[in-house]
Chains A and B, each alone.
Chain A
Amino acid sequence: MKLLRRLGYAAFVLAALAAGQAIQSAEPNFNHNLRPFPVAGEVGTEVAARTFTAQVQLVRCAAALRIGDTILDTQGVWIVAKLRVGARFKPTSIAYAAARDGAGRVYQTTDRVTLNLVTGGHVMQPGLPYEGEIAIEVPTAAAGSLTLLLADNSIDQRMDSMAEIRLPISDGAACSAEPTTLLAPKALS
């Protein structure tokens, strides 16, 4: 009887340890707790984040970018999105733009081209929106499952609102083989 009781104690301790381990591994880590607050939208509709508004007007993809006389190729495809963005209540800028694929990989806008519209280069005044295009390099296989992410902080996007707009590209393999150009940002009156 005594042996059985001891075995019972040991089994109880092991079960408690296993339950604790299961709870710890099941709960999301601290990064999950600090994640941005998503504000979701679709192409053609305006999304209102905490400090700015954003609307994706058009999306296309191509094998290369043409910037003046320069051709920028890629081993994947270029995703080009035409945006209309504006400040909500006070002067602000969009300093972070990226695309997240279905596997959770995040591709920031290219730094091979200067993109002031989404790298903090344009401080927007409320009521004076900007329009322009941005470019993101992604693997061809990822092009069909992308969501555009926009935030106003380039360093840390945690625990702040982030615009999330699904990009309707069905197949990266069907992107244009011809180089595409980028529209420069322009203030709309």
Chain B
Amino acid sequence: MLADVSVTGQGGLSRSVTRGLLDQATPGLRWAVAVVLLGVSGLFGGLDSVPDPQPETLTAGTPVYGGPWEVTVEGAVVQRVLGKLRLEKETNRWLVLTATVRITAHESSILPSDLLTLDGVTGLTSPTPADAALDRDKSRLRLLQPNMPERVLFIWEQSGDAPVPSSITVSVKQRTYREDSLSSAWYWMDSDTGGDVTPAGIVTVPVRADLAAPSASPSPSAGSTPSPGPRPTASPKTAGRTPSAGPTP
């Protein structure tokens, strides 16, 4: 008898009492409790708008992983002469940023023109680089191969009226591998959150000024001189203006 009361009788009584209290309390008490909880949450910042998380600012030489690429910003230099490239105005100058780019996607890629954006510098003729070249042979950058890091010169033109920056802040673009809502195929794409996309990383790099008169011996790396002329060709079609491959035996 006692066992019956303790196992079934008391539990049933407890449930009945609880259900009865809830029935009496609703719906007014439920709303009141919800409003009180919301208010308490608001007191502790639960209703505050939260800004998008910003990546921490890194120093030159730190790799930044941006999805299909990894970018290591190395240095920057301002100079007046850059190989065969011609300034829009003679009084302007070049801002050359050197970075090592490694394609982490599984196939060859062409970098977007807005891979790197600069802050801390005024007077740029365009927010995207005027040109980009491989450091190894100063040829114009087009395609990069996966897992084969390349040192790349990103080149902006800056107005001669603007001050020469002592340092610049470089934001590295990021992409995500996600499903395209239209085709259902998967691609590396910009974030689908809309508005400004949070950069993969922000790097502050000092700028070296090399504004002396042109010399015959160009300095290496960031001070090197890209010459984005015609590519060598293995096609007889353009062999007249560039070195060509030999004839097929």
Chain A residues, CB < 8 A from B108: 98, 106-108
Inter-chain CA distance A132–B246, complex, in Å, is: 10
Inter-chain CA distance A183–B234, complex, in Å, is: 7
- We find that the number of chain B residues with CB closer than 8 angstroms to chain A is 37
Chain A residues, CB < 8 A from B31: none
User: A68 to B232, Cβ gap below 8 A?
Assistant: yes
Chain A residues, CB < 8 A from B185: 30-31, 34
Inter-chain CA distance A123–B234, complex, in Å, is: 16
Chain A residues, CB < 8 A from B148: 74-76, 137-139
Inter-chain CA distance A103–B150, complex, in Å, is: 20
A111 within 8 A of B: yes
User: B233 to A72, Cβ gap below 8 A?
Assistant: no
User: B234 to A115, Cβ gap below 8 A?
Assistant: yes
Question: With contacts A67-B245, A133-B234 known, is A107 near B136, CB below 8 A?
Answer: no
Inter-chain CA distance A31–B239, complex, in Å, is: 40
User: A30 to B184, Cβ gap below 8 A?
Assistant: yes
Q: Which of B107, B137, B186 contacts A72 (CB 8 A)?
A: B137
* Smallest CB gap from B249: residue in A: A183
Chain B residues, CB < 8 A from A135: 234
B97-134: CB near A (< 8 Å → 1, else 0) gives 00000000011100000000000000000000000001
Looking at B149, B150, B231, B248, the one whose CB has the most chain A CB atoms below 10 A away is: B248
Inter-chain CA distance A127–B145, complex, in Å, is: 35
Interface residues of A in 103-148 (CB under 8 A from B): 103-108, 110-117, 121, 131-135, 137-139, 142
Q: Which of A104, A107, A131 contacts B248 (CB 8 A)?
A: A131
User: How far, in Å, is B55 (CB) from chain A's closest CB?
Assistant: 27
User: How far, in Å, is A170 (CB) from chain B's closest CB?
Assistant: 20
User: B139 to A112, Cβ gap below 8 A?
Assistant: yes
User: How far, in Å, is B99 (CB) from chain A's closest CB?
Assistant: 16
User: A106 to B107, Cβ gap below 8 A?
Assistant: yes
Chain B residues, CB < 8 A from A30: 179, 183-186
Chain B residues, CB < 8 A from A73: 136-137
A90 within 8 A of B: no
Chain A residues, CB < 8 A from B136: 73
Inter-chain CA distance A30–B142, complex, in Å, is: 29
Chain A residues, CB < 8 A from B166: none
A152-189: CB near B (< 8 Å → 1, else 0) gives 00000000000000000000000000000111111000
Inter-chain CA distance A181–B232, complex, in Å, is: 12
Inter-chain CA distance A179–B236, complex, in Å, is: 20
B244 within 8 A of A: yes
Question: With contacts A29-B186, A30-B186, A108-B145 known, is A113 near B248, CB below 8 A?
Answer: no
A70 within 8 A of B: yes
Chain A residues, CB < 8 A from B150: 75
Inter-chain CA distance A179–B107, complex, in Å, is: 26
Q: Which of A31, A105, A181 contacts B246 (CB 8 A)?
A: A181
User: B231 to A139, Cβ gap below 8 A?
Assistant: no
Interface residues of B in 190-249 (CB under 8 A from A): 231-239, 242-249
Given A106-B107, A111-B142, 9 other A-B residues pairs in contact with their CB atoms under 8 A: A31-B186, A67-B243, A75-B150, A106-B146, A114-B232, A114-B238, A121-B235, A184-B234, A184-B236
Residues of A whose CB lies within 8 Å of any CB of B are 29-31, 34, 67-70, 72-76, 98, 103-108, 110-117, 121, 131-135, 137-139, 142, 181-186
Closest 6 CB pairs of A and B: A68-B243, A67-B232, A114-B233, A186-B248, A106-B107, A108-B108
Residues of B whose CB lies within 8 Å of any CB of A are 106-108, 134, 136-137, 139, 142-143, 145-150, 179, 183-186, 231-239, 242-249
22 A-B contact pairs sorted by A residue (CB < 8 Å) = A29-B179, A67-B244, A68-B243, A98-B108, A103-B106, A104-B106, A106-B107, A107-B107, A107-B146, A114-B231, A114-B232, A116-B237, A121-B237, A133-B245, A137-B148, A139-B147, A183-B234, A183-B249, A184-B236, A184-B239, A184-B247, A185-B234
